Amino acid sequence: MNNTSGHTIKSEDNTFFAKPFMKWAGGKSQLIPELTSRLPKEIIDTGKIDTYIEPFVGGGAFFFYLKSRFQINNSYLFDINRELIIGYKVLQNDPKELINHLNILEIEYINKNEEERKQYYYNIRDRYNSQINSFDYIKYNTNWIERASHMIFLNRTCFNGLFRQNKNGEFNVPHGRYKNPRICDKENITKVNLALKNTEIICGDFSESSKYVNNNSLVYFDPPYRPLTKTSSFTSYSKEEFIDNDQIRLSEFYKELNKKGAYLILSNSDPKNEDPNDDFFDNLYKDFIIERVNAKRIINCDPKKRGEIKELIIRNYP
Ligand SMILES: C[S@@+](CC[C@H](N)C(=O)[O-])C[C@H]1O[C@@H](n2cnc3c(N)ncnc32)[C@H](O)[C@@H]1O
């Protein structure tokens, strides 16, 4: 297989083409070509990444892509969303049991009529939400497998296929009407499991990634978007908000990691889409290379506003 530079990478395992196991708001699949063409020359030339770090992993579209095309020695993936992290850890530790759970959910769901499916969906959703206060999110145990299966089930069968939580952490998306949803994607679960080898998955704030970063690291930041409009609330991936102060905190963190000599690449929404005079990110990242690329924003709730917009890509290397 060739990477972008024509460098041949050996296919020693079957990690190729693993896709995100969750449909996630802000998923970066459509930005992958823009990001890849801006990888450091050294990485493109050698086909190797010593340490890959993603402080806001979400669905992990870029991680899975890189993992299938580059030789990555170690990866560290962070996210503050504890439900998502449960999913990653179960995919890493217990893929077969997860497949068994999802298989049962799929068979039970698919064989029902529309009204029964709806009932089944809300039963799972109620059960999922009722566990929040008593669930052990700290210590990995077999209950994590069922919870991850429910999260994936809800993601596959809910309206618009997203994962949205309210302030209390409850999953609050209504039932969707997919005719034949793929609830148990056995093949992809197996690929994701392989892609997660040599990977540490950590639930926490982005700043906790600092200790893993050195001058052999590539860090890709994809923080929650700064809302395009004052009314838009699409930064709510989890019950925690990501406000302008967090964007500022992140830019300070970026400067701190820059001093460590790591390669840093960051994507974000461009506030100039709405207000051409908004220099928020231009000011925060003025010491770095800022580019604006075309992107299709798919998380806007208003379909009319889902057209081409600009996205920022910010690098600390030529
Ligand atoms: C834009 S999404 C990442 C999307 C991802 N690149 C993808 O392809 O799916 C941002 C992620 O940051 C996470 N997040 C929000 N606040 C955070 C924080 N303070 N530290 C770490 N992760 C955070 C959210 O849970 C969400 O998964």
Encode pLDDT of 277-299 as tens digits. 999 999 999 999 999 998 876 54
pLDDT digits (tens, 9 = 90+) for 130-171: 999 999 999 999 999 999 999 999 999 999 888 889 989 999
The residue whose CA has the least distance to atom 7 of ligand 1 is 27
Residue 58 alpha carbon to ligand 1 centre in Å:
5
* pLDDT at residue 201 in the model: 98
Phi and psi (nearest 5°) for 245? -60, -35
Bridge pairing between strands 71-79 and 48-54: parallel
Q: For the chain, give the DSSP string.
A: -B-TTS-B----SS-TT---SS--TT--GGGHHHHHTTS-HHHHHH-EEEEEEETT-TT-HHHHHHHHHSEEEEEEEEES-HHHHHHHHHHHH-HHHHHHHHHHHHHHHHTS-HHHHHHHHHHHHHHHHHTTTT---SS--THHHHHHHHHHHHHHHBGGG---B-TTS-B-PPB---SS-----HHHHHHHHHHTTTEEEEES-GGGGGGG--TTEEEEE-PPPPPSSSS--TT-SSSS---HHHHHHHHHHHHHHHHTT-EEEEEEE-GGGT-TT--HHHHHTTTSEEEEEEEE----SSGGG-SEEEEEEEES--
Nearest CA to ligand 1 atom 24: 237
Name which residue sits closest to atom 25 of ligand 1, judged by CA: 81
Out of 29, 52, 78, 79, give the residue to mutate to test ligand 1, the one with the largest number of ligand atoms within 8 Å of its CB: 79
Mean pLDDT of the chain: 90
Locate the ligand 1 atom nearest the alpha carbon of residue 54 and give its number. Answer: 6
Q: Is the pLDDT of residue 301 over 90?
A: no
- In the numeric block, the tokens 């450091």 are attached to 40
For residue 119, report the distance from its CA to the centre of ligand 1, in Å. 31
Ligand 1 binding residues, C-beta < 6 A = 24, 26-28, 55-56, 58-61, 78-81, 205-206, 222-224, 237-238, 240, 242
Q: Per-residue pLDDT tens for 79-88?
A: 999 999 999 9
Burial class (CB in 10 A: 0-12, 13-18, 19+), 135: middle
**Closest atom of ligand 1 relative to the 225 alpha carbon:** 1
Q: What would the mean pLDDT of 29-57 be, rounded to a whole number?
A: 96
Which residue of 23, 56, 247 sits with most ligand 1 atoms within 8 Å of its CB, as the best mutation to test the pocket? 56
Residue ranges and CATH numbers for the domains of the chain are: 29-80+204-315 (3.40.50.150), 85-187 (1.10.1020.10)
Compute the average pLDDT of residues 64-86.
97
